[in-house]
Structure 1
């Protein structure tokens, strides 16, 4: 798995080609059945086990941030500062935000669970999508 993003197909393809020029696009649903099942279950409000290998080229810090985001339980949130601490950079809250902004695997790396101290913060798929995913997990309105 090198990229997962939901927006317009054309912008997805442009972004995919630029971020992973050697990646093979596999459109065959049977090949991707496990991943599709995980995402469908998640979008139905379930808490599926997500164990998909990543093939992303990121810095060690970004990798630590992404692993830290994956450690946040379904339905819970942590602040950027919390994740900075978890990633081994206690003063790196802003750097955490920048790393999460570049997250290529939305949902699989649940960066939507990382919020600002005073609100939602940002999200690379848009603040409305972040709100939707948090509400889906928490079954209630947060912000």
Structure 2
């Protein structure tokens, strides 16, 4: 969460999946979200580091992200985000598997709710979490984007 005296920085990155807005302070990245249009950027070093990491990801060179992210909205969400970050590039886990990984078997729907509020699109790769049936399921960035990201990763793997 941004403290009152912290400066906000912004960067917009055009990617094959759409425009991603990066928001950061001097100490942490607050969010990476899909937006409709490019805006005026006012980046800092963290925004530039995140933009470079996204470019590496979409060029097939970057498979994991090492960025200072703000903590999750709750301890449960933080555990879910950490477990989701551990899903290897090109692989998927189900919501139930994530629930078990965070010590909450039977909490698949709660995992889905936490991931629906994931402020770190692609960096916390919630697109890699699918239904137990193997269906892609829903995605905050749009279901078509989820399927496209999964297909991209499988094609690069």
The residue number in structure 2 matching 1:2 is 30
Selected match of 1:114 from 129, 137, 141: 129
> Is 2:88 aligned against 1:73?
yes
Moved more, 45-54 or 122-131: 45-54
The residue number in structure 2 matching 1:17 is none
The residue number in structure 2 matching 1:36 is 51
The answer to whether the Cα contact below 8 Å between 1:47 and 1:74 also exists between their aligned partners in 2 is no
The residue number in structure 2 matching 1:127 is 143
Task: Answer 1 or 2: which has greater helix percent.
Answer: 1
Task: Answer 1 or 2: which has greater strand percent.
Answer: 2
The answer to whether the Cα contact below 8 Å between 2:80 and 2:115 also exists between their aligned partners in 1 is yes
1:43 is displaced (CA, Å) by 1.4
1:88 is displaced (CA, Å) by 1.1
Query: TM-score under structure 2 normalisation?
Result: 0.73
Write out per-residue CA displacement over residues 46-77 of structure 1, whole angstroms, 9 at most, x where no aligned residue. 33441111114511000000000001111100
Task: After the TM superposition, list the runs of 4 or more consecutive aligned residues in structure 1 that deviate by more than 3 angstroms.
Answer: none
CA distance in 2, matches of 1:87, 1:124: 21
Alpha carbons of 1:31 and 1:120: their partners in 2 closer, same or farther (altered >3 Å)? closer
Alpha carbons of 1:120 and 1:51: their partners in 2 closer, same or farther (altered >3 Å)? same
Query: TM-score under structure 1 normalisation?
Result: 0.80
> Is 2:125 aligned against 1:99?
no
Aligned pairs (5 A) from 1:18-33: 27-28=42-43, 32-33=47-48
CA distance in 1, matches of 2:49, 2:99: 31
Stretches of structure 1 lacking an aligned partner (at least 5 in a row): 14-24
Alpha carbons of 1:58 and 1:30: their partners in 2 closer, same or farther (altered >3 Å)? closer
1:33 is displaced (CA, Å) by 2.3
Alpha carbons of 1:30 and 1:130: their partners in 2 closer, same or farther (altered >3 Å)? same
1:32 is displaced (CA, Å) by 2.6
Write out per-residue CA displacement over residues 5-52 of structure 1, whole angstroms, 9 at most, x where no aligned residue. 112249xx9xxxxxxxxxxx9723666322111001111233344111
Stretches of structure 2 lacking an aligned partner (at least 5 in a row): 1-28
